[in-house]
Amino acid sequence: MAVNVSKNSGDTTFTFEVTGLSTKLDPLLDSWANYVWTHGFGLTEEVDDETVAIEFEDATNSQKMSAINKRLKKLGRDEANTMEAIKSKEAADEDKVVYDEIEEGE
């Protein structure tokens, strides 16, 4: 897997590239898409002014890749937010007063 980062006029683009035999990658991508699809990242469409879930079996390859993309974006945001929370907690722990170390009566 290759990860590329490019910057252009204040925008940053991350690109993930995986190359391999179709006989190995196609089933992997289909299973991955199926997993994310059935765990809250499936797509919907408008039918007669109603939002309807697209069944995985009816999804196009493009829609399956969109579901994977949606999941990766959420995963990246969640992990970045978690790291920021950990760093904030560590900074707060360093700054807090440890009241257990103060003797009673002081």
Q: Confirm whether 6 is domain-assigned.
A: no
Q: How many domains does the chain have?
A: 1
Per-residue DSSP letter, 9: T
CB atoms near residue 67 (< 10 Å): 24
What tens digit of pLDDT does each residue of 81-103 get?
999 999 999 888 877 766 666 66
- Domain assignment present for 60: yes
Structural domain containing residue 83 = 28-93
Query: In sequence order, what E strands does the chain have?
Result: 2-8, 11-17, 44-47, 50-53
Q: Examine residue 17 and state whether it is found in any structural domain, yes or no.
A: no
**105 domain-assigned:** no
In a domain, 101, yes or no: no
Would you say residue 23 lies in a domain?
A: no
Q: pLDDT digit string (tens) for 46-73?
A: 999 999 999 999 999 999 999 999 999 9
